[in-house]
A and B are shown apart, each in its own frame.
Chain A
Amino acid sequence: MKYKIGSIDFSILSPEQIKNIARVRIVTSDLYDADGYPIEGGVMDPRMGVIDPGFHCRTCGGGIGECPGHFGYLELAKPVIHVLYTKVIYYLLKYTCRECGRIMIGGKSGKKTTQPSTCPHCNAQQKKINFVKPYVFYEDKKELTPLDIRERFEKIPDSDLKAIGIKGGRPEWLILTLFPIPPVTMRPSITLESGERSEDDLTHKLVDIVRINQSLKENIDIGAPEFIINDLWELVQYHTATYFDNELTGVPLARHRSGRPLKGIIQRLKAKEGRIRGNLLGKRVNFSARTVISPDPRLSINEVGVPELIAQELTVPVHVTKLNFKEAKNLLKLGKVNYVIRPDGRRIKVTEENRKDLLEHLTTDWVIERQLQDGDITIFNRQPSLHRVSMMAHWVKVMPYKTLRMNPSVCPPYNADFDGDEMNLHALQTEEAKTEAICLMDVKHNIISPRFGGPVVGLDLDQISGLYLLTKKGTIISREEAAQLFADAGIDIKLPLKDKFTGKELFSLLLPKELDMEFKANCCRNCDECIKENCEYDAWVKIRNGELITGTIDAKAAGAFKGKIINKLEKMFDDKEIVKKFIDDAGRLGTAFIMKRGFSIALSDLDLPENIRKKIKTEIDKAQEEANSLIEKYKKQQLSILPGLTAEDSLEAQVMNALASGVSRVSDIVAENVKQTDVMVMALSGAKGSIINTTQIAAVVGQETILGKRIKRGYLYRTLPHIKPFDLSPVSRGFVARGFKDGLTPFELFWNIMNGREGLMDKSLRTRKSGYMQRRLMNALQDLKVVRDTSIRNSNDQIIQFYAGEDGMDPSKSYWGGLNWKEYVKEAE
């Protein structure tokens, strides 16, 4: 029988409905009898559903998985308030007449926010209603019991309720007289290893409610004193409240015997691990694997090395046909099939014992669940999946050992490194999924970022240093060395008939013959006048017909996010294999060369000659003196005040400026005089580090800041007790006048640590905040779409934009977010 859902509406249950949907009346708080069987009329009554395999439901006869479970109900001795509706109850009490029950609107005071003093219908005097969280109501200091409230609500006419928009039930149903007991299937008990039963949190809560209700009823029957009854009534109210929500403000948490807070119904649904976000929007999946990742540059960028252990566990279904019958049989024979599915739908696990038998019976129409093997397509993912490129399709390569292996060039899109990162792998199960992954998600189709039209896959670190050293001026390599280099890199190429090669010639072998381009390399010094090909730093990259003529290959040429050659290749060729091969080969060539040459740095690389050190010292002193003279001027009130700033702020701005320009002059001196070592190779090629890092180590760290300002916090009028009050000098406000190599004074160290702590705090706070902001933004934008008339609309068919992004540009087809009009002009010529 198949039904289609016509409509759903949400409303509250009336006592009659509660009784009607229930199959059991709960009368006792005991769960099991002496033999361990559930008691009838108890909270675990077997008529409320089955949770033990092998048993059948006493109500519907269904087994486990068939029987949906059935409700029970409990008759409350005294009614209680439904805590989740206290707000509605409060408003209804406030705005309905205590005598006639009509809604008090239409009177003289048109404002709805205050409680009317008299009823406009019967002129009855109203009393002040007070709501004390979580669930107590007072009328002129006198407590209103749920019974009183219920009585009042019964008087409200249906027509009035309709007028204020209350649909789907009577307000008196907000006061519970019958309590629905949910089916056991939604609160299954588990049997521990010791044979002991452990009940669900909700069951515990229900037992409490039933037990207290029972004793309340008994006390009423024997005519116990009122205070005892009220205490018990209050207790029933407490238990029903925490059953619904155990995080109510002003209510002590209901706890398990172990002290762990119990989970109310609200807690089951709410937040990250709740039913909505944890189980409906995100689920655990089968056919997936997770382990530590490590690099393997021998793999291509769209491959993933899968450990044998994982490959043996993950499977792919293969339909046995006439065409693949032999292979399928062979796989089964070799033990590379984990399950077989017969045409009747039975899934059989392949074991040593039944393999022979299965081999005999295997025919077409069977499906075998084959182990993962080379050439399968999988989806590779690293969390947080902020990007579409956080999930890409990789081809499987089964390998020994226990880590997932990947080409280091795909680290940037995943934002992965190998300091212990783990990643997930998903084996695709249907032909449609595989095809879609191959056509859309393969790494080679995702080299260009959908965010800014530049490559996200590209070289990094040593690969860039390697290419820089290989292609810079003066690298000469003999034929033997060149052959060895390409062999090491695993590049199959025919060397031209020459005895000696320059690095540029060798790199050119990787470029397609059609490539023509010119651009500034990362090592460009931004001279006032660019002399292009004649650049003394060899920073003008010129490629003609796939020959690197001048310039050095570095981050701007082949790096991730920056690489212009990768970008150009990707846009030139429809066959992305060419781009993929370039990235693979360039990365391996760089690594091979750097290993041949050797690469090492030392602290002494940052030594500076004595005269330069003196020069730096005077520069720093000069900057500090300048700052001090500004402070002097400020104290004499002669300082020029900058527009829009107070005197203090003007001083701060000018002091910061004076010190910063001092540091930047030092930086220039360092850049000119530091030894040309591998440290500088890394900085110039854009592989890692910068001139600022170099200056900070070799010469001067500079101003440490808190919230972008000089350090001010600490004691009254001073930063540390060792400093005189009102001292505004650079040293007392966080200026570090030494480099890390020379060592910092105790004060300076302290400033540096303050700054460091701020950075740390900032980082953790920012990632949390931006994560939430991103979630909100995604939820807001997820169903926007471009329709045929180029407008962007939401799910209500409302127009958001008339032309995507106001310019109709696809960022992934742009040139780092903009238009490369020079290129278009050149093409047109």
Chain B
Amino acid sequence: MPKHEILSEEEKKELLERLKIQEKQLPKILDSDPVIKKINAKAGDVIKITRNSPTAGKSIYYRLVISK
């Protein structure tokens, strides 16, 4: 399981500014997802996922938690 962590408000703001996007343009993840339950994230949080990759070493992905 790759590392999932919740971004703080400032980090989230910084990310959205950096990408010049709105929250809803981020990839989504349901709050019913086991990993979201585990790290106790709420709808509206942005999750930072750090994955290992054979070609890129580490790759970072962000997903917005939403509720159904």
* A 802-829 binary contact with B (CB < 8 Å = 1; else 0): 1100111100001000110000000000
Shortest distance between the CB of B52 and any CB in chain A (Å): 10
Instruction: Say if the beta carbon of B13 comes within 8 Å of chain A.
Output: no
Shortest distance between the CB of A452 and any CB in chain B (Å): 13
From B20, B51, B55, give the contact of A818 (CB < 8 A): B55
* A 790-812 binary contact with B (CB < 8 Å = 1; else 0): 01010001111111001111000
Which residues on A sit within 8 Å (CB–CB) of B1?
A: none
* A 136-173 binary contact with B (CB < 8 Å = 1; else 0): 00000000000000000000000000000000000000
B53–A799 contact, CB under 8 A? no
Q: Known A806-B51, A806-B53, A807-B53; judge A799-B19 contact (CB<8 A).
A: yes
Nearest residue, chain A, Cβ from B26: A799
B25–A803 contact, CB under 8 A? no
* B 9-46 binary contact with A (CB < 8 Å = 1; else 0): 00000000001110011110000000000000000000
B59–A789 contact, CB under 8 A? no
Chain B interface, DSSP helix/strand/loop, else mixed: mixed
Shortest distance between the CB of B35 and any CB in chain A (Å): 18
A799–B25 contact, CB under 8 A? yes
15 A-B residue pairs with Cβ-Cβ distance under 8 Å, sorted by A, are: A791-B19, A793-B25, A799-B26, A800-B27, A801-B61, A802-B60, A802-B62, A803-B56, A803-B59, A806-B53, A806-B61, A807-B56, A808-B56, A809-B56, A818-B55
* A 344-366 binary contact with B (CB < 8 Å = 1; else 0): 00000000000000000000000
Given the complex of chains A and B, what is the CA–CA distance between A791 and B25 in angstroms?
11
Nearest residue, chain A, Cβ from B63: A799
Give how many A-B residue pairs fall within 8 Å (CB-CB). Answer: 39
Which residues on A sit within 8 Å (CB–CB) of B54?
A: 818
A806–B25 contact, CB under 8 A? no
Nearest residue, chain B, Cβ from A798: B25
Given the complex of chains A and B, what is the CA–CA distance between A798 and B56 in angstroms?
23
Given contacts A799-B19, A806-B51, A807-B55, 17 further A-B contacts (CB under 8 A): A791-B19, A797-B21, A798-B25, A799-B25, A799-B26, A799-B27, A801-B61, A802-B19, A802-B61, A802-B62, A806-B53, A807-B53, A807-B56, A808-B56, A809-B56, A818-B55, A819-B55
Given the complex of chains A and B, what is the CA–CA distance between A814 and B55 in angstroms?
10
Which residues on B sit within 8 Å (CB–CB) of A807?
A: 53, 55-56, 59
B55–A789 contact, CB under 8 A? no
A→B interface (CB under 8 Å): 789, 791, 793, 797-803, 806-809, 814, 818-819
Shortest distance between the CB of A349 and any CB in chain B (Å): 57
B56–A806 contact, CB under 8 A? yes
Which residues on A sit within 8 Å (CB–CB) of B53?
A: 806-807
Nearest residue, chain B, Cβ from A807: B56
Top 4 A-B pairs, shortest CB-CB distance: A807-B56, A806-B59, A807-B55, A798-B25
Shortest distance between the CB of B60 and any CB in chain A (Å): 7
Given the complex of chains A and B, what is the CA–CA distance between A572 and B27 in angstroms?
40
Shortest distance between the CB of A786 and any CB in chain B (Å): 14
Which residues on A sit within 8 Å (CB–CB) of B20?
A: 789
Given the complex of chains A and B, what is the CA–CA distance between A803 and B55 in angstroms?
13
Nearest residue, chain A, Cβ from B56: A807
Central interface residue in B54, B55, B60, B62, by most chain A CB within 10 Å: B55
Nearest residue, chain A, Cβ from B61: A802
Which residues on A sit within 8 Å (CB–CB) of B25?
A: 793, 797-799
Shortest distance between the CB of B58 and any CB in chain A (Å): 10
Nearest residue, chain B, Cβ from A794: B25
Shortest distance between the CB of B44 and any CB in chain A (Å): 17
A809–B55 contact, CB under 8 A? yes
Nearest residue, chain B, Cβ from A809: B55
Which residues on B sit within 8 Å (CB–CB) of A798?
A: 24-27
Shortest distance between the CB of B5 and any CB in chain A (Å): 16
Which residues on B sit within 8 Å (CB–CB) of A814?
A: 55
B60–A799 contact, CB under 8 A? no
Which residues on B sit within 8 Å (CB–CB) of A793?
A: 25
Nearest residue, chain A, Cβ from B28: A798
Nearest residue, chain B, Cβ from A797: B25
Which residues on A sit within 8 Å (CB–CB) of B59?
A: 803, 806-807
Given the complex of chains A and B, what is the CA–CA distance between A814 and B25 in angstroms?
30
Given the complex of chains A and B, what is the CA–CA distance between A807 and B52 in angstroms?
10
Given the complex of chains A and B, what is the CA–CA distance between A809 and B53 in angstroms?
12
Which residues on A sit within 8 Å (CB–CB) of B24?
A: 798
Given the complex of chains A and B, what is the CA–CA distance between A818 and B20 in angstroms?
32
Shortest distance between the CB of A159 and any CB in chain B (Å): 30
Which residues on B sit within 8 Å (CB–CB) of A809?
A: 55-56
Which residues on B sit within 8 Å (CB–CB) of A791?
A: 19
Given the complex of chains A and B, what is the CA–CA distance between A789 and B21 in angstroms?
11
Shortest distance between the CB of B54 and any CB in chain A (Å): 8
Shortest distance between the CB of A540 and any CB in chain B (Å): 28
Given the complex of chains A and B, what is the CA–CA distance between A802 and B47 in angstroms?
14
Given the complex of chains A and B, what is the CA–CA distance between A814 and B56 in angstroms?
13
Given the complex of chains A and B, what is the CA–CA distance between A257 and B1 in angstroms?
66
Given the complex of chains A and B, what is the CA–CA distance between A819 and B53 in angstroms?
12
Given the complex of chains A and B, what is the CA–CA distance between A345 and B27 in angstroms?
54
Which residues on A sit within 8 Å (CB–CB) of B62?
A: 802
Given the complex of chains A and B, what is the CA–CA distance between A446 and B2 in angstroms?
37
